[in-house]
A and B are shown apart, each in its own frame.
Chain A
Amino acid sequence: MNCIIIDDEATARAIISQLCSNNSSLTILEEFPNAIEAIKYLNQNKVDLIFLDIHMPDFTGFDFIQTLKNPPKIILTTSDPKFAIEAFEYDCIVDYLVKPITLPRFEKAIKKAESIPSIPKNIMDGKVETSSGNDLYVNIDRRLIKIDIPSIYLVEAKGDYIQVKTEEKNYTVHSTLKKIEEKLPNNLFLKIHRSYIINVQKIIDIEDNSVLIKKDVIPVSRSNRPELMKRLNLL
Chain B
Amino acid sequence: MEQPNLSYINELSGGNNDFKSKLIAIIKKEFPEEKEIYFKNFKAKNFKASAENVHKLKHKISILGLEKSYKIAEEFEDNLKENSVTGFETFNKILQTITDYLKML
- Contacts from A to B (Cβ < 8 Å): 8-12, 14-15, 18-19, 22, 55, 57, 79-80, 99-100, 102-103
Say yes or no: A18-B23 contact (C-beta < 8 A), given A100-B8, A103-B11. yes
B22 and A12 form a contact (CB under 8 A): no
Asked if B56 lies at the interface with its beta carbon under 8 angstroms from chain A, I say yes
User: Nearest CB to that of A77 among chain B residues?
Assistant: B59
Measured CA separation A103–B16 after assembly (Å): 14
Which residues of A are found within 8 Å of B30, using beta-carbon distances? Answer: 9-11
Measured CA separation A8–B33 after assembly (Å): 13
A100 and B23 form a contact (CB under 8 A): no
27 interchain pairs, CB-CB under 8 A: A8-B56, A9-B30, A10-B30, A11-B26, A11-B59, A14-B22, A14-B26, A15-B12, A15-B23, A15-B63, A18-B12, A18-B16, A18-B19, A18-B23, A55-B52, A55-B55, A57-B52, A79-B55, A79-B59, A99-B59, A99-B62, A100-B59, A100-B62, A100-B63, A102-B8, A102-B11, A103-B14
A10 and B26 form a contact (CB under 8 A): yes
A11 and B60 form a contact (CB under 8 A): yes
Binding site of B, secondary structure by majority: helix, strand, loop or mixed? Answer: helix
Asked if B13 lies at the interface with its beta carbon under 8 angstroms from chain A, I say yes
B23 and A12 form a contact (CB under 8 A): no
B55 and A80 form a contact (CB under 8 A): yes
Asked if B6 lies at the interface with its beta carbon under 8 angstroms from chain A, I say no
Of the residues B14, B22, B55, contact of A22 by C-beta under 8 Å? B14
Which residues of A are found within 8 Å of B63, using beta-carbon distances? Answer: 11, 15, 100
User: Nearest CB to that of B62 among chain A residues?
Assistant: A100
Task: Tell me, rounded to whole Å, the shortest Cβ–Cβ distance linking A154 to chain B.
Answer: 35
Measured CA separation A150–B74 after assembly (Å): 42
Which residues of B are found within 8 Å of A11, using beta-carbon distances? Answer: 23, 26-27, 30, 59-60, 63
Q: For the complex, count residues of B whose C-beta is within 8 A of A.
A: 21
User: Nearest CB to that of A13 among chain B residues?
Assistant: B26
A9 and B59 form a contact (CB under 8 A): yes
Nearest 4 A-B pairs (CB), nearest first?
Answer: A100-B62, A79-B58, A99-B59, A10-B26
Measured CA separation A79–B57 after assembly (Å): 10
Measured CA separation A80–B62 after assembly (Å): 12
Which residues of B are found within 8 Å of A99, using beta-carbon distances? Answer: 59, 62
B44-56 near A? 1/0 per residue, CB < 8 Å? 0000000010011
Say yes or no: A103-B12 contact (C-beta < 8 A), given A11-B30, A15-B23. yes
Which residues of A are found within 8 Å of B29, using beta-carbon distances? Answer: 10
User: Nearest CB to that of B34 among chain A residues?
Assistant: A9
Which residues of B are found within 8 Å of A102, using beta-carbon distances? Answer: 8, 11
Say yes or no: A19-B59 contact (C-beta < 8 A), given A11-B23, A11-B27, A55-B52. no
Which residues of B are found within 8 Å of A14, using beta-carbon distances? Answer: 22-23, 26
Known: A99-B62, A100-B62, A102-B11. 6 other contacts (CB 8 A): A10-B29, A14-B23, A15-B23, A18-B13, A55-B56, A79-B59
Which residues of A are found within 8 Å of B55, using beta-carbon distances? Answer: 55, 79-80
Measured CA separation A18–B23 after assembly (Å): 10
Which residues of B are found within 8 Å of A19, using beta-carbon distances? Answer: 12
Measured CA separation A22–B16 after assembly (Å): 11
